[in-house]
Amino acid sequence: MKYKKVVIIISLLIVVAGYGIYSYTAESTLTFSPPVVASAPVDVLSVQPKAVKQMKPKQITVVEKIPQPISDSFQLMAEAYASELTLPSYSIPLTTDDSHLLNPNAYIPQSVLLQDGASASIILSKYRFSFPEPVVIKLDVKGLQINGASAALRSELNDEAETLISTAMLGADGEWAIQLNAEEDWNGPMEVSVTFRAKGKKQILKTGIEYSHPTATITGVEEIRAEGSDMLIPVKLDVERAGYYRLRANLYSVDKQPIALLTGSEKLAEGSVVMDLKAYKGVLTQHKGPYVLRTFVLERRPAVPGELTQYGHSEEPAYKLGDFAVESLSDEPWQPDEQEMQRLEFLQKMAGD
Peptide bond into 134 cis (omega under 30): no
**Domain 118-212 shares a fold with domain 216-328:** yes
Helix (H, G, I), strand (E, B) or coil at 47: coil
pLDDT in the model for residue 178:
96
pLDDT in the model for residue 266:
96
Pairing of strands 225-227, 112-113: unpaired
Domain boundaries, the chain: 1-31+60-85+336-353, 118-212, 216-328
**Rg of the Cα trace of the chain?**
31
pLDDT beneath 50, residues of the chain: 1-4, 6-8, 10, 12-52, 63
Distance from C-alpha of 57 to C-alpha of 30, rounded to nearest angstrom: 10
- Name which CATH class applies to 118-212: mainly beta
- pTM (2 d.p.): 0.72
DSSP codes, 23-44: HHHHT-EEEEPPPP-------T
pLDDT in the model for residue 34:
40
- Burial profile 81-108: b = 16 or more Cβ within 10 angstroms, e = fewer: beebbebbbbbbbbeeebeebbebeebe
**Which of 186, 195, 202 has its CA nearest to residue 137?**
195
pLDDT in the model for residue 237:
98
Alpha helices per DSSP H over 219-334:
281-284
What is the topology classification, in CATH, of domain 216-328?
Immunoglobulin-like (2.60.40)
pLDDT in the model for residue 23:
41
